[in-house]
Amino acid sequence: MLTYAVPGLDHESWDNLHQLANCLIEHGTKPLGDTSRGRVIALVGAGASVPAGIPASKQLKEKIQEIVINGGLIHEEALKRELNKPLSMASLEEFTQVACKYLHVRDKVLAELNDICLASPQSLNDSLPPLLCYEILAHLVKHGFIDHVISMNFDEILDEALENEVGREALFRIVSEQDLIGFTELPPYKAGLVKPHGTISLPRSLRFTRENVAMFPAEIADFIQKEILISHSNKPSHFPQTTLVVVGFSMHDLEINRILSEATLAQIYRIDVTRPGSTVPNGFGETCTAGGESSLLRTLERPIISAQGANDIFSKLWELMAEKAPEENLTLEPIAKHRLLSTIFQPSESLIFD
């Protein structure tokens, strides 16, 4: 029997982790196609991939800031005026969008991003280790506890975990507008992976190389809003609400907040990390309060804050689900192979958020 003594979890986070385990078990007891089933969607950000050596948004922003300001390309005060906020409060998307308005800056910034992210896409993918949090997430998708995944990441660690676990034939992937051509409705009984910022193996799909990096392609934004999350306007009268599980994502993205404000959400479970002695992170930044979207979303938020990182949180989540499953006459498939796979590579760094 599990006890409260879980390193790095406070009482609120422990309670919310229990609630998430109950939610996933309840969701898994309902067969696919059941109109009362609703949806559970995972939203994954760059923080979850940091232990594998992928730079977080904060690191990329600091690098761009170093090029732009320290390199004397744009004066700091001019950037502040353009952003209409302190530099520390600007997201990577906002910062890059403003900086890249200047052509002489754009060339240098994109060259640096190419060096960091696109130097050798295949060698980058080949060298990345599997992560336990992604392995368990893919396992949850395969067995119907999570329906679809929205990944804000360009790396393909999660893609590979899903393909290996779920199988290509049972998975559809949307990484650019081209993937939506002829796509009229969700394939029945298939899990989806949607990557609004593109993917490393298709450099032309990557969003940070476009002029308006703060916005998703209109077709993909519409698809996420209407088909994946189920917007108010597109929701059948019998369709229940959606539960969102956020992993490694700060929720400061204006486009995501806009899309979520139109969704029929029941709860938002935000898996986050904090360092010992630091302040508990706020999931929805003050920059997202315009129009009231963020304040509404905050009322649905159930933070799961830990000093241990996503791998440990997902391990504990699985243990809780395994404990609760017999009560619902469920038998969970073991995750021993996933633990073994991730242990062999042993990523050493903790989850980091932008």
Within-domain flag for 6: no
More confident residue, 81 or 30: 30
Q: Tell whether 251 and 144 lie within a shared domain.
A: yes
pLDDT digits (tens, 9 = 90+) for 129-166: 788 899 999 999 999 999 999 998 888 889 999 999 99
Q: Tell whether 106 and 244 lie within a shared domain.
A: no
Q: Tell whether 107 and 173 lie within a shared domain.
A: no
Domain count, the chain: 2
Range of the domain at 82: 57-123
Q: Is residue 193 pLDDT above 90, yes or no?
A: yes
Q: Tell whether 19 and 166 lie within a shared domain.
A: yes
Contact in structure between 231 and 252 (CB atoms under 8 Å): no
Contact in structure between 280 and 303 (CB atoms under 8 Å): yes
Q: How far apart are CA 99 and CA 60, in angstroms?
A: 13
Q: What is the pLDDT of residue 175?
A: 93
pLDDT digits (tens, 9 = 90+) for 223-259: 998 889 875 555 555 567 899 999 988 777 778 888 8
Q: Tell whether 88 and 219 lie within a shared domain.
A: no
Q: Of 75, 102, 123, which marks where a domain is finished?
A: 123
More confident residue, 12 or 33: 12
- CATH number of the domain to which 16 belongs: 3.40.50.1220
The whole-chain average pLDDT of the chain stands at: 75
Q: What is the pLDDT of residue 7?
A: 59
Q: What is the pLDDT of residue 348?
A: 46
Q: What is the pLDDT of residue 341?
A: 74
**What percent of the chain is modeled with pLDDT above 70?**
66
Q: How far apart are CA 259 and CA 152, in angstroms?
A: 14
pLDDT band of 90, cuts 50, 70, 90: low
Q: What is the pLDDT of residue 149?
A: 97
Q: Tell whether 68 and 200 lie within a shared domain.
A: no
SS (H, E, C) the chain: CCCCCCCCCCHHHHHHHHHHHHHHHHHHHCCCCCCCCCEEEEEECHHHHHHHCCCCHHHHHHHHHHHHHHCCCCCHHHHHHHHCCCHHHCCHHHHHHHHCCCHHHHHHHHHHHHHHHHCCHHHHHHHCCCCHHHHHHHHHHHCCCCCEEEECCCCCHHHHHHHHHHCHHHEEEECCHHHHCCCCCCCCCCEEEECCCCECCEHHHCHHHCCCCCCCCHHHHHHHHHHHCCEHHHCCCCCCCEEEEEECCCCCCHHHHHHHHCECEEEEEEEEECCCCCCCCCCCCHHHCHHHHHHHHHCCEEEEEECCCHHHHHHHHHHHHHHHHHHHCCCCCCCHHHHHHHHHHCCCCCCCCC
pLDDT band of 111, cuts 50, 70, 90: low
Q: Is residue 29 pLDDT above 70, yes or no?
A: yes
Q: What is the pLDDT of residue 179?
A: 92
Q: Tell whether 91 and 181 lie within a shared domain.
A: no
Q: What is the CA radius of gyration of the chain?
A: 20
Q: Is residue 205 pLDDT above 50, yes or no?
A: yes
Q: Tell whether 64 and 153 lie within a shared domain.
A: no
Q: Of 107, 123, 139, which marks where a domain is finished?
A: 123
The pTM score is 0.76
Q: Tell whether 298 and 162 lie within a shared domain.
A: yes
pLDDT digits (tens, 9 = 90+) for 252-291: 777 888 888 888 888 999 987 654 444 444 545 443 433 4
Within-domain flag for 116: yes
Q: Lay out the sheet containing 171-174: strands in order across.
A: 171-174, 191-194, 148-151, 39-44, 242-247, 265-273, 301-306
Going 216 to 350 to 135 to 7, the CA torsion angle's sign is: negative
Q: Tell whether 327 and 178 lie within a shared domain.
A: yes
Q: Tell whether 198 and 96 lie within a shared domain.
A: no
pLDDT band of 82, cuts 50, 70, 90: confident
pLDDT digits (tens, 9 = 90+) for 39-78: 999 999 877 776 655 555 566 667 777 777 777 777 778 7
More confident residue, 287 or 38: 38
Within-domain flag for 3: no
Q: What is the pLDDT of residue 41?
A: 96
Q: Tally Cβ neighbours within 10 Å of residue 243.
A: 24
Q: Tell whether 310 and 232 lie within a shared domain.
A: yes
Q: What is the pLDDT of residue 226?
A: 85
Q: What is the pLDDT of residue 83?
A: 72
pLDDT band of 37, cuts 50, 70, 90: confident
